[in-house]
Amino acid sequence: SKSSIYHHVAGKEELLRRAVSRALDGLFGILEEPGSTRGRALERVEYVTRRTVEVLMAELPYVTLLLRVRGNTRTERWAMERRREFDHRVADLLKAAAADGDLRADVDARLATRLLFGMVNSLVEWYRPQAGTGYDRQQVADAVVRLAFDGLRTAP
Protein backbone atom coordinates (compact mmCIF):
# COMPACT_ATOMS: atom_id res chain seq x y z
CA SER A 1 0.00 0.00 0.00
CA LYS A 2 1.01 3.61 -0.37
CA SER A 3 1.41 4.14 3.36
CA SER A 4 3.54 1.02 3.90
CA ILE A 5 6.31 2.41 1.70
CA TYR A 6 7.21 4.82 4.50
CA HIS A 7 8.23 1.82 6.58
CA HIS A 8 11.18 1.55 4.18
CA VAL A 9 11.99 5.24 3.59
CA ALA A 10 11.97 8.29 5.84
CA GLY A 11 9.78 10.33 3.51
CA LYS A 12 9.10 11.61 0.02
CA GLU A 13 12.47 13.34 -0.19
CA GLU A 14 14.36 10.10 0.45
CA LEU A 15 12.18 8.29 -2.06
CA LEU A 16 12.94 10.95 -4.66
CA ARG A 17 16.66 10.80 -3.91
CA ARG A 18 16.70 7.01 -4.32
CA ALA A 19 14.87 7.22 -7.64
CA VAL A 20 16.99 9.95 -9.19
CA SER A 21 20.14 8.31 -7.80
CA ARG A 22 19.31 5.18 -9.76
CA ALA A 23 19.27 7.23 -12.97
CA LEU A 24 22.37 9.24 -12.06
CA ASP A 25 24.32 6.16 -10.99
CA GLY A 26 23.58 4.62 -14.38
CA LEU A 27 24.77 7.72 -16.22
CA PHE A 28 27.92 8.24 -14.18
CA GLY A 29 28.68 4.52 -14.39
CA ILE A 30 28.99 4.97 -18.15
CA LEU A 31 31.84 7.43 -17.63
CA GLU A 32 33.82 4.71 -15.82
CA GLU A 33 33.40 2.06 -18.50
CA PRO A 34 36.44 1.28 -20.69
CA GLY A 35 34.69 2.62 -23.80
CA SER A 36 34.50 6.03 -22.10
CA THR A 37 38.08 6.12 -20.94
CA ARG A 38 40.11 4.66 -23.82
CA GLY A 39 40.63 5.64 -27.41
CA ARG A 40 40.17 8.85 -29.34
CA ALA A 41 37.84 11.44 -27.87
CA LEU A 42 35.39 10.96 -30.76
CA GLU A 43 35.14 7.23 -30.07
CA ARG A 44 34.64 7.92 -26.38
CA VAL A 45 31.89 10.51 -26.88
CA GLU A 46 30.09 8.26 -29.36
CA TYR A 47 30.32 5.45 -26.80
CA VAL A 48 28.97 7.69 -24.03
CA THR A 49 26.10 8.81 -26.26
CA ARG A 50 25.21 5.25 -27.23
CA ARG A 51 25.35 4.04 -23.63
CA THR A 52 23.34 7.03 -22.41
CA VAL A 53 20.54 6.06 -24.79
CA GLU A 54 20.73 2.47 -23.55
CA VAL A 55 20.65 3.50 -19.88
CA LEU A 56 17.79 5.90 -20.51
CA MET A 57 15.77 3.17 -22.18
CA ALA A 58 16.61 0.61 -19.49
CA GLU A 59 15.87 2.97 -16.60
CA LEU A 60 13.08 4.94 -18.30
CA PRO A 61 10.91 5.75 -15.23
CA TYR A 62 13.91 6.89 -13.17
CA VAL A 63 15.46 8.97 -15.95
CA THR A 64 12.06 10.50 -16.71
CA LEU A 65 11.79 11.57 -13.09
CA LEU A 66 15.34 12.93 -13.15
CA LEU A 67 14.52 15.02 -16.20
CA ARG A 68 11.41 16.42 -14.51
CA VAL A 69 13.10 17.85 -11.39
CA ARG A 70 13.16 21.65 -11.32
CA GLY A 71 15.15 22.52 -8.20
CA ASN A 72 12.26 22.97 -5.78
CA THR A 73 13.84 20.87 -3.01
CA ARG A 74 17.33 20.13 -1.76
CA THR A 75 17.25 16.73 -3.47
CA GLU A 76 16.13 18.26 -6.76
CA ARG A 77 18.91 20.86 -6.61
CA TRP A 78 21.43 18.09 -5.90
CA ALA A 79 20.11 16.06 -8.86
CA MET A 80 20.29 19.06 -11.18
CA GLU A 81 23.88 19.74 -10.14
CA ARG A 82 24.83 16.12 -10.85
CA ARG A 83 23.16 16.35 -14.28
CA ARG A 84 25.17 19.49 -15.01
CA GLU A 85 28.34 17.68 -13.95
CA PHE A 86 27.56 14.86 -16.38
CA ASP A 87 26.90 17.39 -19.16
CA HIS A 88 30.22 19.13 -18.45
CA ARG A 89 32.07 15.83 -18.72
CA VAL A 90 30.48 15.12 -22.09
CA ALA A 91 31.19 18.69 -23.25
CA ASP A 92 34.85 18.11 -22.36
CA LEU A 93 34.86 15.02 -24.59
CA LEU A 94 33.31 17.02 -27.44
CA LYS A 95 35.95 19.74 -27.00
CA ALA A 96 38.69 17.12 -27.10
CA ALA A 97 37.22 15.55 -30.26
CA ALA A 98 37.11 18.99 -31.90
CA ALA A 99 40.70 19.65 -30.82
CA ASP A 100 41.68 16.32 -32.42
CA GLY A 101 40.08 17.54 -35.65
CA ASP A 102 37.39 14.83 -35.59
CA LEU A 103 34.43 17.12 -34.89
CA ARG A 104 33.49 20.55 -36.09
CA ALA A 105 35.21 23.29 -34.13
CA ASP A 106 32.73 25.97 -35.22
CA VAL A 107 30.00 24.71 -32.84
CA ASP A 108 30.37 25.49 -29.13
CA ALA A 109 30.87 22.23 -27.21
CA ARG A 110 28.43 23.16 -24.42
CA LEU A 111 25.76 24.04 -26.97
CA ALA A 112 26.43 20.81 -28.88
CA THR A 113 26.11 18.89 -25.59
CA ARG A 114 22.76 20.51 -24.83
CA LEU A 115 21.47 19.78 -28.32
CA LEU A 116 22.78 16.21 -28.23
CA PHE A 117 21.14 15.49 -24.89
CA GLY A 118 18.00 17.29 -25.98
CA MET A 119 17.72 14.63 -28.66
CA VAL A 120 18.62 11.79 -26.29
CA ASN A 121 16.36 13.00 -23.49
CA SER A 122 13.40 13.39 -25.85
CA LEU A 123 13.13 9.60 -25.75
CA VAL A 124 11.28 9.86 -22.43
CA GLU A 125 8.47 11.62 -24.28
CA TRP A 126 7.77 8.94 -26.87
CA TYR A 127 9.58 5.67 -26.12
CA ARG A 128 7.23 3.17 -24.50
CA PRO A 129 8.63 -0.37 -24.52
CA GLN A 130 5.37 -1.92 -23.30
CA ALA A 131 3.44 -0.22 -26.11
CA GLY A 132 5.60 -1.86 -28.75
CA THR A 133 7.08 1.23 -30.40
CA GLY A 134 8.86 -1.10 -32.79
CA TYR A 135 12.39 0.04 -31.86
CA ASP A 136 14.85 -1.78 -29.69
CA ARG A 137 17.64 -0.15 -27.69
CA GLN A 138 20.27 -0.93 -30.31
CA GLN A 139 18.27 0.62 -33.16
CA VAL A 140 17.60 3.80 -31.23
CA ALA A 141 21.18 4.13 -29.99
CA ASP A 142 22.53 3.57 -33.51
CA ALA A 143 20.18 6.20 -34.95
CA VAL A 144 21.07 8.81 -32.33
CA VAL A 145 24.82 8.30 -32.82
CA ARG A 146 24.53 8.38 -36.62
CA LEU A 147 22.34 11.48 -36.69
CA ALA A 148 24.38 13.38 -34.13
CA PHE A 149 27.90 12.56 -35.18
CA ASP A 150 27.57 12.33 -38.92
CA GLY A 151 26.21 15.86 -38.69
CA LEU A 152 29.07 17.01 -36.46
CA ARG A 153 31.97 15.35 -38.24
CA THR A 154 34.45 17.37 -40.24
CA ALA A 155 34.40 16.80 -43.97
CA PRO A 156 36.78 14.02 -45.11
> In sequence order, what DSSP letters do the residues of 24-82 get, joined into one string?
HHHHHHHTTSHHHHSS-HHHHHHHHHHHHHHHHHHTHHHHHHHHH--S-SHHHHHHHHH
- Looking at the structure of the chain, the number of domains it has is 1
CATH number at residue 148: 1.10.357.10
Confidence of residue 154 (pLDDT cuts 50, 70, 90): low
Span 51-81, pLDDT tens digits = 999 999 999 999 999 999 999 999 999 999 9
What's residue 134's pLDDT?
Answer: 77
Residue 156 has pLDDT above 90, yes or no: no
Residue 105 has pLDDT above 80, yes or no: yes
Taking the C-alpha atoms of residue 17 and residue 40, their distance in angstroms, rounded to an integer, is 35
| Residue, of 8 and 13, whose pLDDT is higher | 13
What's residue 104's pLDDT?
Answer: 87
| Residue, of 132 and 124, whose pLDDT is higher | 124
What's residue 136's pLDDT?
Answer: 87
Q: Which domain holds residue 46?
A: 3-152
Q: Is there a contact between 102 and 41 (Cβ–Cβ < 8 Å)?
A: yes
Specify the amino acid at residue 98: A
Confidence of residue 130 (pLDDT cuts 50, 70, 90): confident
Mean pLDDT of the chain: 91
Kindly state the percentage of the chain with pLDDT values over 70: 91
pTM for this entry: 0.89
Average the pLDDT over 11-19 and give the result. 89
What's residue 1's pLDDT?
Answer: 66
Taking the C-alpha atoms of residue 67 and residue 71, their distance in angstroms, rounded to an integer, is 11
What's residue 6's pLDDT?
Answer: 67
What's residue 155's pLDDT?
Answer: 65
